[in-house]
A and B are shown apart, each in its own frame.
Chain A
Amino acid sequence: MASYTKAAQQWATFGRAWYLLDAKMQPPGKIAAATVMRLEGKHKPIYHALNDCGDHVVIINTRHIAFSGNKWEQKVYSSHTGYPGGFKQVTATQLHLKDPTAIVKLTVYRMLPKNLQRRTMMQRLHLFPEDVIPEDIQKNLLQEIPQPRAVPKRLDEYTPEEIAAFPRVWTPPKDFRWK
């Protein structure tokens, strides 16, 4: 029931929410795409660049992210210390071993828009290598973001009933041998 007196009432529309995202067995690029949407505030119909409507995102299990392909060996993260001879190139594996949150942090940082709001949005991102979260952050959490990738189950994670119930195309005869 809209009316002129009720037009200014906002309830908690401009409140900042805290979201949780589990990065276990997820590709860091898709994780970053989901978090960047929330950090910018583009998941809200009241979005505007000047509105400061971004939310907080807490990412857990960053140690267990999963690159597809051979990226653990082939992806290279480069940096320069500023001094001569200070060009450093590190593979994703080496960087991940040195700091388990660095890959997700760099991915999110590079996906955010390259403006002055980027640093503020990075301050609203909270990364944890395992699923241990401090109490005060845990109390703020509102909702969990669904995982971008459906994690497949290994054969030994299926129960025998599910394996038996799965339809078979053909059953080999008892004396069958692959050539």
Chain B
Amino acid sequence: MVVLSAARWIRSRLTDRFWRKQEVLKYARHFRGRKNRCYKLAVRSVRRAFVKSTKARAEKKKFLRALWITRIGAASLEHGLKYPVFISNLVKSQVELNRKVLADLAIYEPKTFKSLAALAQRRRQEGFLAALGDGKEPEGIFSRIVRHHY
């Protein structure tokens, strides 16, 4: 005979409180002060840390882009060009490299970057010739726009 009702008279107590708190404290172990040990303080700090980390994802993109621009500007100044001149002439020559790649090239592939700077300088001169010349199609080859039909 199975007595199913007796089991229901035993009240169950919470047994895994330790592990529930550990789930939160494990994210607070590198914090400063009592909030890396005490659960009540840690809960607040961990929540704020997660919120800040979420909001920082958009800021990280802005920060990294500004860093790339500084680096590209510094590298192009080494070759005698300013950053806006360099970027605008690269775009006009249909070189669609983004700032991340340009910054990495400036650091790890200096000769490649030098050739890109020379390309931008040449395109700039062709632009001046076209503006100050007769108004006919410029003779230079770097200012010719290539249209790809995919």
Chain A residues within 8 Å of B, Cβ to Cβ: 2, 42-48
Contacts and interface: CB of A to CB of B under 8 A. Distances in A.
Contacts of A2: 108-109
B75 A45 contact: yes
Across the A-B interface, give the 3 residue pairs with the lowest CB-CB distance, nearest first: A45-B75, A45-B106, A45-B71
Nearest to A49: B67
Given A2-B108, A2-B109, A47 B71 contact: yes
Contacts of B74: 42-45, 47
Q: Is chain A's interface secondary structure helix, strand, loop, or mixed overall?
A: loop
A45 B70 CA distance: 8
Interface string B84-126: 0000000000000000000100111100000000000000000
B77 interface: yes
20 contacts: A2-B108, A2-B109, A42-B70, A42-B73, A42-B74, A43-B74, A43-B77, A43-B78, A44-B74, A45-B71, A45-B72, A45-B74, A45-B75, A45-B78, A45-B103, A45-B106, A46-B107, A47-B71, A47-B74, A48-B67
Instruction: Give the interface centre of A43, A44, A45, A47 by most chain B CB atoms within 10 Å.
Output: A45
Contacts of A43: 74, 77-78
Contacts of B106: 45
Interface residues of B, number: 14
Contacts of A42: 70, 73-74
Nearest to A13: B107
A142 to B, nearest CB: 15
Contacts of A45: 71-72, 74-75, 78, 103, 106-107
A112 to B, nearest CB: 16
Contacts of B67: 47-48
Given A2-B108, A46-B71, 12 more contacts: A2-B109, A43-B77, A43-B78, A45-B71, A45-B74, A45-B75, A45-B78, A45-B106, A47-B67, A47-B70, A47-B71, A48-B67
A162 to B, nearest CB: 28
Nearest to A40: B70
Contacts of B109: 2
Contacts of A44: 74
Contacts of B78: 43, 45
Contacts of B70: 42, 47
Contacts of B73: 42
A159 to B, nearest CB: 31
